[in-house]
């Protein structure tokens, strides 16, 4: 499991919601909208194929060396880039440039930095750039260094006259610093946003990340919660004290989450009889969707689902914004690792478990 796979889970779902605006010039409008329709079609085909691949892999019916489904989206993205180059100076230029960047977030993140440099250079005062800023956290790790991105976002914050754009840029700077473990720098950026008064949504988001800095780092006590289990009962994190807990956030629409169930099964089998439990939190909007998949794959552990005001309260508490997301919590309730995916999972759990009792 790599960063690109993690990012695709969230971004692939997001870009499917791309709206089609109305650029001024009919020929470019029609040409670009046709490409967006083509991208929507090939992306859905790709996601469906990848979901089938992930399900087969998790169920053990696929050869372990079977390649992932082919991805033809980059070819469509290159056609979009050609329109961006032709549209510079035209009324629709900001729209096609930002939309192309949005698509690139889920298709070709490695090339995102030069695209965003063009947006900062040409459209710092355009409202469309806010849509692009929101995706930076999902692409920066695969395109340039964190220093390049924070410098670029800082330049945008200094040059734009739009308060929303400025605070969006500060938010992204904070998230980049947070991902790199630079907690002091992240706190400064998020605190700047939290002090504003004219954008409650941004303030709440900044406070969520400040909470993450103070309460969700390795070595800190995992926040306590009680949530609804699929069997109709309730599960409290505290009730699992004494066991090592893998808190796993997932969704059926995230192929990599489903693919990771194979590692969950293997880890559970290897640790049979040890004080270890997997606590999964489904982020699906429909409980039935998760139930169908759980019945089909029968992954180990205790499985939960809850929806309040359109969101999962446990995911909100743990500030989960990219899937899959894992927290490894020891028997004393302390966070010991975050996101030990794939082959890293079993060694991470073994490092936290108490020594196995000696065999007489």
Give the tens place of pLDDT for each residue, 87-104: 888 888 999 999 999 998
| 155-159, 217-221, 324-328, 356-360: segment of lowest average pLDDT | 356-360
Tokens encoding 192: 């700047």
Where are the domain boundaries for CATH 1.25.40 in the chain?
3-215
Q: Which residues contact 190 (CB under 8 A, 6 or more apart)?
A: 170, 171, 174, 206, 207, 209, 210, 213
What distance, in Å, lies between the first and last C-alpha atoms of the chain?
39
For residue 54, CA distances in Å to 57, 257, 260, 297 come to 5, 9, 8, 11
Tell me: pLDDT of 16 over 50. no
pLDDT in tens, 84-143: 999 888 888 999 999 999 998 888 888 889 999 999 999 999 999 998 998 898 888 888
Where are the domain boundaries for CATH 3.40.30.10 in the chain?
226-352
Q: Do 278 and 297 touch, CB atoms closer than 8 A?
A: no
Tokens encoding 70: 């082919």
Q: Do 179 and 202 touch, CB atoms closer than 8 A?
A: no
The CATH code of the domain at 3-215 is 1.25.40
Give the SS3 label for residue 336: strand
For the domain made up of 226-352, the CATH class stated in words is: alpha beta
Q: Do 223 and 318 touch, CB atoms closer than 8 A?
A: yes
Spacing of C-alpha 314 from chain mean position: 16
Where helices occur in 2-70 by DSSP H, the ranges are 3-15, 26-59
């Amino acid at each position: 499991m790599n960063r690109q796979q993690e990012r695709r889970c969230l971004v692939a779902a997001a870009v499917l919601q791309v709206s089609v605006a109305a650029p001024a010039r009919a020929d470019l409008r029609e040409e670009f909208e046709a490409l967006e329709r083509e991208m929507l079609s090939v992306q859905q085909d790709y996601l469906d194929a990848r979901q089938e691949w992930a399900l087969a892999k998790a169920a053990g019916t696929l050869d372990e060396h079977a390649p992932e489904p082919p991805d033809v989206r980059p070819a469509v993205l290159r056609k979009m880039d050609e329109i961006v180059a032709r549209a510079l100076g035209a009324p629709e230029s900001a729209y096609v440039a930002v939309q192309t960047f949005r698509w690139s977030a889920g298709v070709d993140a490695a090339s995102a930095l030069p695209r965003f440099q063009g947006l900062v250079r040409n459209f710092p005062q355009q409202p469309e750039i806010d849509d692009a800023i929101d995706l930076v956290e999902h692409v920066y790790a695969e395109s340039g260094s964190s220093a390049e991105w924070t410098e670029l976002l800082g330049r945008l914050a200094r040059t734009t006259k739009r308060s929303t754009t400025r605070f969006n840029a500060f938010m992204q700077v904070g998230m980049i610093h947070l991902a790199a473990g630079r907690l002091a720098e992240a706190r400064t950026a998020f605190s700047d946003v939290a002090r504003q008064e004219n954008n409650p949504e941004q303030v709440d988001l900044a406070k969520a990340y400040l909470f993450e800095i103070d309460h969700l780092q390795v070595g800190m006590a995992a926040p306590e919660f009680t949530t609804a289990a699929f069997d109709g009962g309730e599960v409290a994190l505290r009730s699992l004290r004494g066991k090592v807990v893998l808190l796993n956030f997932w969704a059926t629409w995230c192929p990599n989450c489903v693919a990771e169930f194979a590692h969950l099964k293997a880890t559970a089998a290897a640790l049979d009889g040890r004080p270890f439990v997997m606590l999964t939190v489904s982020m699906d909007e429909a409980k039935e969707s998760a139930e169908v998949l759980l019945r089909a794959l029968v992954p180990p552990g205790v499985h939960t689902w809850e929806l309040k005001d359109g969101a999962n309260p446990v995911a909100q508490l743990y500030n989960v914004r990219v899937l899959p997301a894992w927290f490894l919590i020891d028997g004393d309730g302390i966070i010991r690792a975050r996101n030990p995916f794939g082959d890293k999972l079993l060694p991470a759990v073994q490092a936290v478990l108490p020594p196995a009792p000696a065999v007489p």
